[in-house]
Chains A and B, each alone.
Chain A
Amino acid sequence: MSHDMSEEKLPESHGSAGHHEVAAHGDPFADPGLPAHEPRRTDIDERAAKRAERQVSLMFVVSMLATIGFIASYVAIDKEKIVYVWPLGNISALNFALGMTLGVALFLIGAGAVHWARTLMSDVELPAERHPIEADDEVRNDVIDQFRTGAAESGFGRRKMIRNTLIGSMALVPLSGVVLLRDLGPLPEDKLEHTGWLEATPAKPLALINMNTNLPMTAEDIIVGSLTFAMPEGLHTHDEDFQQRIAKDALMLVRIAPENIKDEKSKELGFEGILAYSKICTHVGCPISLYEQQTHHALCPCHQSTFDLADGARVIFGPAGHPLPQLKIITDEKGFLVATGDFDEPVGPSYWERAR
């Protein structure tokens, strides 16, 4: 390829141009200097330079066309149209066209700029020496002198009362910032300790409502190996605060053959093997219900905390710090499953004031 380079434009002795010096014999750590500057093809061959110029312009022109294509597809393509594109599958034609044209338009601006910089802009290496960042001794002494003079003139060291009250006022000012944090809201008080099941009392129990059918359930409805989700009576999915309340009240109901329940207290809280556990993970409060009916393990999809529902929802793996709280359930005179009170410990993640 060297035949179309004009030899006379090549620098004859670029190796000895100033900053390039050969290391002295016997000193292996001498500054080797910069490597020799080598011209690019476009520096010495005007035709190559012209070609690079055309290439850069072509990229910018295609980018322009792609932008026009973007606008055209926005106007022309029906947003409901679905096309098959391998390997993406059945996708929206509009999405595909907008993404491709905008992607091409932006990519070619970048590619053109890079190509321009690499082939046509100056590529002379410029060394930049590093300098110490501290000021020289004279300036530093002057500053220290001024500081001492100022301190002496203010009498800061002599008038101790002023000094101490100043320190006191400076120390107290940040307190106003702390007080402003109060605006973040009223303290949660005991809201974290109770759920919607608190309204249930032995005299006036709350029925467990099946979240699929919105009806109360009898014990016969829950069979061994099944999984059912329940919410307290009186809560409706169209309530304004439904999401906030269900985030604490949600139950998962499982039935385990009584001889397989290892935890005595858990067996007592349940009804003939039907156990009502909080659905809220005690780690950071994800809804958990990846229930394995043979092992009786419930898994949290967020951080893999695993609870053994046959053993009082003991944590057998993962970061959760507490077993899942269990709600005491009985049946009322009509045979429906009801709760007579709240969980005996807070549901969901731990917090500072939590009793245990």
Chain B
Amino acid sequence: MKKLSARRRHPLAALVVLLLALAATGGLYAAFAPADKAQADVAAQSLAIDEGKKLFAVGCSSCHGLNGQGSSDGPSLVGVGSAAVDFQVGTGRMPAQQPGAQVPKKKNIYSQAEIDQMAAFVASLGPGPVTPTEEQYTSTNPEDLSKGGELFRTNCAQCHNFAGQGGALTQGKYAPSLEGVDAKHIYEAMQTGPQNMPSFPDTTMPEEQKKQIVAFVRHTTNDEPNPGGLTLGSLGPVTEGLFGWIFGLGALIAVAIWVAAHTTKAKKS
């Protein structure tokens, strides 16, 4: 007790008290705060648009406006269609974590049922690309791989790299890597052209070709083994050159220095 009172006037005492108070507040909040995830009512399919509107009002309206008409912080969602909602929310890009050159992919906080409800609401605002069904983006024909590869190199490789590893654009924007991306999301991105990606509507790239591209991307980024090993991100000559110059030449220089400097002289004393 004496020890405690002796430290009461220590210069850091105020800081310690403040930290304890903050920890206590945070702990109490974590214990008593209401769970922030609303449970979706899957039974009420007919009310999907109404439910979607409620979710939209909570999660999206601060930027896109209460009726999806858009504001200075977010574009209008009239006519973007359900595919755009399914892509943006399903990959966690929306709600956006912060404004910036590019909204990155992050963990999705909504269930698929909630996403479908929001998509139903946004689709009711105006006609647009519809969320694809599974047979639209699942290929069963092995020939699709090579056709998809050709289409990928014509339409996609310039930004997403020949192996789908992504690449840099201007002013902080980038084309993301396609590794591990859902087939459905790849298909939707081509339909809707999210962020700065141009869209590839069915009129210029028919559904069948989109399916072929999805098949190629899934195969290249997920299934295809790499016979040589050590892809260095498949980014091409930049990473390979960097690796060669820094690690290859670095190792040679280190060995040369060791060979020249480290001699086995015996000393008499």
Contacts and interface: CB of A to CB of B under 8 A. Distances in A.
B144 to A, nearest CB: 14
B207 to A, nearest CB: 12
Residues of A contacting B: mostly:
mixed
A306 B168 CA distance: 13
Contact of B198 (A5, A123, A293): A293
A306 B170 contact: yes
A88 interface: yes
A10 B167 CA distance: 65
Interface in B169-203: 169-170, 173, 175, 193, 195-201, 203
B266 A44 contact: yes
A299 B170 contact: yes
B266 A91 contact: no
B5 interface: no
Given A43-B266, A91-B226, A299-B169, A221 B199 contact: no
B100 interface: no
A89 B266 contact: no
Interface stretch (A19-27, A223-231, A323-331): A223-231
A289 B197 contact: no
A182 to B, nearest CB: 36
Given A41-B266, A89-B226, A226-B193, A291 B198 contact: yes
Given A211-B154, A223-B199, A39 B259 contact: no
A262 interface: no
Give the size category of B's interface with A: 35 or more
Contacts of B170: 292, 295, 297, 299, 304, 306, 317
B158 interface: yes
B208 to A, nearest CB: 10
Interface string A197-223: 000000000000011110001001111
A286 B190 CA distance: 24
Contacts of B259: 114, 118
Contact of B265 (A39, A96, A212): A39
B196 A295 contact: yes
A90 interface: yes
Given A212-B209, A292-B169, A301-B167, A226 B201 contact: yes
A85 interface: yes
A217 B226 CA distance: 39
Interface string A338-356: 0000000000000000000
A192 B188 CA distance: 41
Interface string A83-122: 0010011111001100000000000000000100011000
A89 to B, nearest CB: 6
Contact of B227 (A92, A294, A317): A92
Contacts of A114: 259
Contacts of A85: 229
B34 interface: no
Contact of B264 (A41, A92, A220): A41
Nearest to A211: B154
Contacts of A310: none
B239 to A, nearest CB: 15
B267 interface: yes
B264 A42 contact: yes
A17 to B, nearest CB: 14
B6 to A, nearest CB: 56
A10 B204 contact: no
Interface in B219-268: 225-231, 259, 263-268
Q: Which 4 A-B pairs have the closest CB atoms?
A: A227-B198, A88-B229, A221-B203, A92-B227
Interface of B: 151, 154-155, 158-159, 167, 169-170, 173, 175, 193, 195-201, 203-206, 209, 225-231, 259, 263-268
Interface of A: 2, 5, 10, 38-45, 82, 85, 88-92, 95-96, 114, 118-119, 123, 210-213, 217, 220-223, 225-229, 254, 287-295, 297, 299, 301, 304, 306, 317
8 contacts: A40-B264, A88-B229, A90-B225, A90-B226, A91-B226, A114-B259, A118-B259, A212-B151
